[in-house]
Amino acid sequence: MALTSELGKQIKLKEVEGTLLQLATVDNWSQIQSFEAKPDDLLICTYPKAGTTWIQEIVDMIEHNGDVEKCQRAIIQQRHPFIEWARPPQPSARNAKDCMVSYYHFQRMNHKLPDPGTWEEYFETFINGKVVWGSWFDHVKGWWEMKDRYQILFLFYEDIKRDPKHEIQKVMKFMGKNLDETVLDKIVQETSFEKMKENPMTNRSTVSKSIMDQSISPFMRKGTVGDWKNHFTVAQNERFDEIYRKKMEGTSINFCMEL
């Protein structure tokens, strides 16, 4: 499958196990599948635009006891729907509506991804799971159903926004760390959206404009809960809710749609 980006280039995607992936990922798929984790590896398993960078920074800061200078990532990021891994994964989920909005703007500015088209066109693409890394519904439902069978810490983007200190404490416990209050408060401060938005290590400002054009949309855009209300029409919202009920039927997962 080849989709045209707004630069006029053909962005080639290939379906692997029902999920659309970029060719660079497909070319390395056998290595990904045969990957063997080390005892101290932590797998972060997020759907795109569901808090990946945020969780990475939190884990990094905890691992290095809040020392910003020492934060060099040694983290494996996993976006594919549930695959059985050797080590405990840490999924992070974000409500589908905000995720769709954020992914839409990310595709607008990321020239390594297909042009999303209009918001109306992208709405259809997303609900049908025809985006890179596949269906939000399959990803979230798959990990949610596995959380009690494996050593998994399932986090919600909205919970981190509401009470970052509490959620960071959960991550610390999961990692087997016990940091004092001063270090914890520093991690909360350094991993705030506002702080990361100004940090070149996290805001991708050093990435070439030919890859990520932040004049179209910043990599770290709003980081809010409920921005979907500025994009969804009444009809789209009603239709999405109906699709959500059908696709997520039988799951106990609940998302906060606004704070």
- Superfamily, domain 14-29+39-247: P-loop containing nucleotide triphosphate hydrolases (3.40.50.300)
Which run of H or E residues covers position 77? strand 76-77
Q: What pLDDT is attached to residue 70? A: 64
End-to-end CA distance of the chain: 39
Average pLDDT per consecutive 10 residues, the chain (259 residues; last block may be shorter): 49 86 88 81 89 91 78 50 48 94 96 95 96 94 90 94 96 92 94 92 91 95 95 98 96 87
Spatial strand order of the sheet with 2-4 comes to 2-4, 10-16, 19-22
Mapped onto helix, strand or coil, the DSSP state of residue 40 is: coil
Q: What pLDDT is attached to residue 71? A: 64
Q: What are phi and psi of 145, to 5 degrees?
A: -70, -20
The HSE-up count of residue 76 (CA atoms within 13 Å, CB side) is 18
Domain coordinates in residue numbering, the chain:
14-29+39-247
Nearest to 128 by CA among 100, 95, 156: 100
